[in-house]
Amino acid sequence: MKKNYTINKYIQDFFALRTIIRLISYGCYSRTDFTKFNISGRSYDDAIRRLKFCLTEDTLAPNRHNRALHLSFSINTYQKPFNFLINTFKIKTMKPQIMTAYLLILQIFNFIQKPLNISDFFDNLLSLCPDFADNRDEQFFRRRLKELVALGYIIEIKQQQQFFYQLSANPLDKLDKKDLVELFYAINFAANTALMSTPAYYLMETIQYHLQQKYNFKISPLTIHQFKNNVLTRMLDDLIIIEIINALKNKQHLLIKEAHKEYAAKPLKIITEYTYNRQYLLAQVGKVLKKIRLDKIISLSAISATDVSPIKNSPEKLQTLTMQLHSPTSLQSILENRAKNELPIFTLNILSPEIINIELQHQDILSLVPTLRTFFPYLKIIKDSTNKIAPRLKEDLSEVISNYGTIS
C-alpha cells in the first residue's frame, strides 16, 4: 500500500527556495526545465507545495505553452507596495541544536585565538561543553564547521596535508570612524523595517562598543526615521526633516526650493497628519504662516536671518479661523496634543476642563478641512474669515450620512 506523502512545510535552507521563486517569477520555465538548474522534479514539487501553503491560492498563475505548464506570480509588484513573498521567509526555521553548535564553534575560536586542526577543536569542545558535545557525533560538528567556512565566519588553512581553522578577521577593523558611523545609522534605519530586527540591534551594539574602544567615540541611535505604510517612495523626506530639526535647534532660517519657486522661510515646527500619512513644515514666509508639504520640497539649506531678503509684498493674505473643541475631560489632553501637532495654531486657550478655544492662521484655511474633519464630533466653528469652513464641513457630513447612514 502506497503511503501518502506529507510535505514538511518549514524549511531550513531558504536559499534553495529563493532560487526556485526567482525562476518562477520569470514565468517561462516548466517543471522539466528546472533540471537545467540542478533542481529535481521532487524538489520542484516540494517548493510548490510550500508556496501554496504560505501564499494565497490565486498567487500562482498557471499558463500552458506547447503542452508544458508554466507557473508565474499573478501579483504585479510594481503596482502594489506589499511584499507578498515575505510569508515565504517566515516559514524558514532555525533548529536550536544547529544554532547552538554555530555559537559554540565561534566562541571556541574566539577564546583560543589561534588556528586549530580538527583534533584540537574537538579537544577544546569536550573540555568547554562536555554535555552538549557528548550527545552529538563528530560528523554533526564537521558539517557545522564547513557551513561556517562557506559563510566566511571561519577560515580554512591547509598546512602540510592538514587543515587548520581559525576565526575570520573582524570586518569592523577594516572600517574607519566615518564608515562605522554611517554603517551604524544605516543599520539603525533598516532595523525598524526588517522582518527580523534582533540581529540588526545586536550589530548596532557591537559597532557602538567598537567605536568606544577604538576611537573613544560614543554614538546613539536616531529616532526620527519612520516606516511609512510599507512604501519607500518618501524616505528622502527624512533627510529634509534632519535639516529642519538642525535649523530649529540653531535658530536658522531655511532657503526652500520647490518645483517652480525658491523662497526663504523661518521654520516653526513639523506637523504630522497621521490620517493622510503626510508631514508638513509650518514656517513663516514673510508675514505669512505657511504650511508646506515635505514631499513638495525638492531641497533646502540653512541660512542665517541676515541673509533673508525682506518681502515687500505679502504673496497671500492671511486667513483666520476660530474654533472650539467640546469634549469629555478625559479626552481634552488628547485633542489638545493633536491640535498642536496637526494645525497651524496662532493661539490656544483652555476655557474649562471640557472646552478648548483655538485660533488658526493660514494662507488657505480651506485646505485644512480634511484635518478638521478628524476632530468630529467635538468641533465647533466660532468665527471664519472666509465663511466657507462651516458650510463645507456640513456638506461633507451630510454626504457621509447619505452614503453610509447613521450609527445607532
Q: Final residue of a domain: which of 151, 167, 183?
A: 167
Q: Average the pLDDT over 251-260 and give the result.
A: 87
Let me know if residue 9 belongs to a domain: no
Q: Average the pLDDT over 346-371 and give the result.
A: 86
pLDDT (tens digit per residue) in 166-177: 998 888 988 999
Check whether residue 330 and residue 396 sit in a common domain: yes
Lowest mean pLDDT among 94-103, 253-262, 348-357, 373-382: 94-103
Let me know if residue 105 belongs to a domain: yes
Check whether residue 325 and residue 389 sit in a common domain: yes
CATH of the domain at 61: 1.10.10
Between 408 and 348, residue with greater pLDDT: 348
In this prediction, what percent of the chain has a pLDDT beyond 90?
12
What is the average pLDDT value for the chain, to the nearest integer? 80
Cell 472650539 locates to 324
Check whether residue 136 and residue 185 sit in a common domain: no
Check whether residue 109 and residue 184 sit in a common domain: no
Q: Is 86 helix (H, G, I), strand (E, B) or coil?
A: helix
In this structure, what C-alpha cell is assigned to residue 186? 544605516
What pLDDT, on a 0 to 100 scale, did the predictor assign at position 224?
Answer: 43
Check whether residue 119 and residue 71 sit in a common domain: no
Check whether residue 338 and residue 391 sit in a common domain: yes
- What is residue 168's DSSP assignment? P
Let me know if residue 3 belongs to a domain: no
pTM as predicted: 0.40
Whole-angstrom Cα distance, residue 282 to residue 216?
Answer: 39
pLDDT (tens digit per residue) in 129-159: 777 666 667 888 888 899 899 888 899 998 8
Beta pairing class for 154-159 and 162-167? antiparallel
Under 8 Å between Cβ of 294 and 283: no
Q: Final residue of a domain: which of 274, 307, 340?
A: 307
Give residue 252's domain range.
Answer: 237-307
Check whether residue 335 and residue 387 sit in a common domain: yes
Q: Final residue of a domain: which of 167, 190, 223?
A: 167
Let me know if residue 232 belongs to a domain: no
Check whether residue 253 and residue 271 sit in a common domain: yes
Let me know if residue 279 belongs to a domain: yes
Number of structural domains found in the chain: 5
Report the C-alpha dihedral over residues 104, 106, 112, 117, rounded to 10 degrees.
90
Cell 564537521 locates to 142
Under 8 Å between Cβ of 319 and 362: yes
